[in-house]
Amino acid sequence: MKLINIKFNKPERWFIYMTENNSTTWLLSPDLILTESTDEDGEKVFKRDDIILKKEDDTGNTDMYDFQIRIKELVSQFVNRSFEKIILLAGSGSSVTGDQNNVLGKTMADLVSSVISELESNSSYFNIEEICIMIKYPFFHQEGKVDSSRINLENLLSTIYRFEPFVLVKKEKKYQRTKKRILEVIKNETSYDYDQELLKHTSVINSLSNRVKAPYKLSVVTTNYDTMFEQAADEIDYTVIDGFTHSLDPYFNADEFEWNLVKNISNVKTKELEYRPNTIDLLKIHGSLTWEREENKIFRRTKNIVDKPILIFPSSNKYAQSYEEPYFDLFAKFQELLSKNNTLLITTGFSFGDSHITTMVERAVKRNQGICMLVTDFNIDQNGEGWQTIKKLTDSKFPVLFLKASFNNLPDYLG
């Protein structure tokens, strides 16, 4: 191992480090990589590219604090650029506590495991292997069982819906029972309530919304079916514009996103207006536990009284998306947001497993020179196809920064 002393702007020693072992990436940008790794002697080192920032001392201690300060400085430089518009794209990871017990919230992996377990517990349903074989959905075995980590639940359900016309008559009832049970499991597993002690949605909303100046609003785009953002916004007296009318029985009307809440300024003779503070847009692009279709309209109601919520399962094929309300309208709005100049896009708890969303984001970054992107997750060393697609943007020097941070840790970096 070769060590070379290097001067820096702090009274500390930096070293060139020649070995790569057990590396965990904390921050990845077009210009640098910050990692935590272990050398051949089992000692922890914190590095910038191949240069050691910190190393475990003789007592076995590492100064993680200074390393985190450096990361926060870099993130602050990236996000504090007076962006006019901010988009927060939140996946299932934003609804989990992030601790080992996961006392609140379910990731997609959790939902897949619950579905598999439920289908195997009752012979009146097709088990996961049977349903995959029937609809020709690819699956893999691990230790004699279906590998749940290789199943995308939304793609699976999309295929189940598309295959319905081809089910044999003698299997149709069991097929319908299986589909219905999968939907019930998803509904039950995502029907939790917001807990301000366990989740940090209020802090994230406040921090990002305060960075946006009127007439613009923070736009939250989520693939989650739960009501965490709505409930969190209510906790801190935010108004949520979610595409539903402000009527006694709210129904979906995409034009609602074009409106703002304003009032006349008293004692001013001009037509100057004051925009209502604490207002956000919320686009639930995969549906919600509180949405229900009745005749030709989609209504928003209390989730406890919705029997058949609208949960949208888009195909993994980006050309096969539905053109029905509200899916098309919500994605059209999301695409419009991505095309705006001077925009910061932050993703959290989203693994880019939905190829349609991944393609939209990739094209926006490549075509819109006025957009910057901060990708956050508890693990940024992922190997999924969509994740690697976005990572290639960073490798190609587009303004895309990766940060190892769970949703609950995000307020620590946003300030």
Q: 94 with 112, same domain? A: no
| Domain-located, residue 76 | no
Q: How much is the average pLDDT of 72-101? A: 88
Q: 310 with 405, same domain? A: yes
Q: 281 with 224, same domain? A: yes
| Domain-located, residue 260 | yes
Helix locations, 352-402, DSSP H = 355-367, 385-395
Q: 172 with 39, same domain? A: no
Nearest to 194 by CA among 205, 207, 184: 205
Angle at 138 between CA 133 and CA 141, to 5 degrees: 85
pLDDT digits (tens, 9 = 90+) for 251-292: 999 999 998 888 877 766 666 778 889 999 999 999 999 999
Q: How much is the average pLDDT of 215-227? A: 95
DSSP code, position 295: T
Angle at 320 between CA 317 and CA 229, to 5 degrees: 80
Q: 199 with 170, same domain? A: no
| Host H or E run for residue 204 | helix 201-209
- Domain, as residue range, for 361: 81-102+193-414
Tokens of 410: 């995000």
Are residues 39 and 16 in contact, defined by beta-carbon separation less than 8 angstroms?
Answer: no
Residues 6+ apart with CB under 8 A from 81: 344, 372
Q: 23 with 162, same domain? A: no
Q: What pLDDT sits at residue 11? A: 31
Last residue of a domain, one of 139, 163, 189: 189
Tokens of 164: 């319905």
Q: 289 with 304, same domain? A: yes
| Cα 197 from Cα 189, distance rounded (Å) | 20
Q: 134 with 45, same domain? A: no
* The total number of structural domains that make up the chain: 3
| Cα 224 from Cα 258, distance rounded (Å) | 23
| Domain-located, residue 229 | yes
| Domain-located, residue 93 | yes
Q: Is the peptide bond before 399 cis (omega within 30 degrees of 0)?
A: no
Residue type, 104: L
pLDDT digits (tens, 9 = 90+) for 236-260: 999 999 999 999 999 999 999 998 8
Q: 144 with 86, same domain? A: no
Q: 268 with 345, same domain? A: yes
Q: 161 with 226, same domain? A: no
Q: 224 with 279, same domain? A: yes
Structure pTM?
0.88
